[in-house]
Structure 1
Amino acid sequence: MTYIDCYLAPVPRANKAVYEKMAAASAEVTRAHGALRVTECWLDESGPDASTYHGESARRDADQYTSFIEAAGAKEGEAVVMSWVEWPDKAARDIGMAKMTSDPRMQFEGQVPVFDGSRLIAGGFLPMISL
């Protein structure tokens, strides 16, 4: 069964183009080490509010929902990026991540940080339904 790594990170809006370039390069390396799919998403801040994802009988006021901005801890001037990597299975993920994180193309020391990696939220997920 596939395995999914998910990420949520606040990124300065001013760094969007640089983040996208870094993400594309990282995705290439991740795919080279076994990932089936890499998806990077920039939050549509003008998009629908959380109440629109609920039926009318369960709907609350928009301010009663937690947002991705709050969940990611985004500050003034920051947007939210949600990403996921699909792996063939957890074993392939563990092998691929070990290779990816030691790959020289993924070493960003000495470069100006695109975002604060210590604020990255990450977790591994086992799919329940995939249509």
Structure 2
Amino acid sequence: MSYIDGFVLAVPKANREAFRKLAEDAAVIFKKHGALSVVECWGDDVPDGEVTSFPMAVKCQPDEIVCFSWIVWPSRAVRDEGNKKVMEDPGMKMPDGGMPFDGKRMIYGGFTPIVGDPMSERG
């Protein structure tokens, strides 16, 4: 059974290209260490909520956009080992200016699919 890492974060609109480049480079490293796919999404229809919402969860500011990302791994064991290797990979060194978003407001977690398996739905 596959395993999914999910992420929600707020990125300053002015940092879109820096975020895209960082995400693109990181995707190569995650795949090198066992990830099957990496998807990074730039929000364009992410409404504010009254009780809770993606923007509220990451304390999104007016000059920021909510981004939603996920990584598909073949299993939790591959993910656990892969993440260790990713964190040790020299390619994961942050750019000179640091991350193009506030990592303290990023929400992330690991998930086991219970309906639909990305492994079996691949084309």
Give the TM-score range, shorter chain. Answer: 0.7 to 0.9
Identify if the C-alpha distance between structure 1 residues 48 and 83 changes in structure 2 by more than 3 Å, giving closer, same or farther: closer
Structure 1 residue 19 and structure 2 residue 5: aligned?
A: no
Q: For 1:26 and 1:48, how far apart are their aligned partners in 2?
A: 24
Q: Which residue of the partner structure matches residue 53 of structure 1?
A: none
Q: For 1:127 and 1:113, how far apart are their aligned partners in 2?
A: 30
Q: Which residue of the partner structure matches residue 68 of structure 2?
A: 82
How many percent identity over aligned positions? Answer: 40
Q: Which residue of the partner structure matches residue 92 of structure 1?
A: 78
Q: Which residue of the partner structure matches residue 70 of structure 1?
A: 56
Q: For 1:40 and 1:18, how far apart are their aligned partners in 2?
A: 13
Structure with bigger gyration radius: 1
Shift of 1:74: 0.6
Q: Runs of 5+ in structure 2 lacking a partner?
A: none
Shift of 1:113: 2.8
TM-score with structure 1 length normalisation?
0.81
Q: Runs of 5+ in structure 1 lacking a partner?
A: 50-61
Q: How many residues matched?
A: 117
Shift of 1:64: 4.3
Q: Which residue of the partner structure matches residue 59 of structure 1?
A: none
Q: Which residue of the partner structure matches residue 6 of structure 1?
A: 6
TM-score with structure 2 length normalisation?
0.86
Identify if the C-alpha distance between structure 1 residues 70 and 48 changes in structure 2 by more than 3 Å, giving closer, same or farther: closer
From 110, 114, 118, the counterpart of 1:124: 110
RMSD: 1.8
Q: Which residue of the partner structure matches residue 38 of structure 1?
A: 38
* Structure with greater helix share of residues: 1
Q: Which residue of the partner structure matches residue 111 of structure 1?
A: 97
Shift of 1:120: 1.1
Q: For 1:63 and 1:72, how far apart are their aligned partners in 2?
A: 12
Shift of 1:77: 0.5
The answer to whether the 8 A contact 2:46-2:66 is kept is no
After the TM superposition, list the runs of 4 or more consecutive aligned residues in structure 1 that deviate by more than 4 angstroms. 62-65
